[in-house]
Structure 1
Amino acid sequence: MSFGLENFPHVSLPKPIARHVPNELMTEEEWRSLGVKQSQGWEHYMIHSPEPHVLLFKREKDYQIKYLNAPPPK
């Protein structure tokens, strides 16, 4: 999902892994330790109480261009 200047993907964790999700926002190190694999710059920004196994992330739309000198997507 994309709105304005940011992208907002979500990741659904399998129930056995979801048991290890804390009741607070996670750092990149924490969500990567659960096996979540994404490129750099993603922030776990919200907890959706009805579905705690779904992790919600956000990142600036042009993050890779601004910070990693990557070419713009085609």
Structure 2
Amino acid sequence: MVLSHFHADHTAGLRDFPNASILYKRGEYTAIKDLGLLALVKAGCLPGLLLDDFEERSPLIDETPHPGGYPL
């Protein structure tokens, strides 16, 4: 599965796929990772929707610039 960002409408079904790998960009996760609960909710994110072992089993999308200037 690929997450473009961590708003609740994008993460709500993750628990229905407990064995899926989840790809995401580091910057999107870093932006919400250390927020408190109130700040997360204000940002549209509900941390309880993420799998408990999310970080351990979710590889980052390779953000190495493509020779043509586009990320892979």
TM-score tier by shorter-chain length is: under 0.3
- TM-score with structure 2 length normalisation? 0.27
- TM-score with structure 1 length normalisation? 0.27
- Please state which structure has a larger fraction of its residues in helix: 2
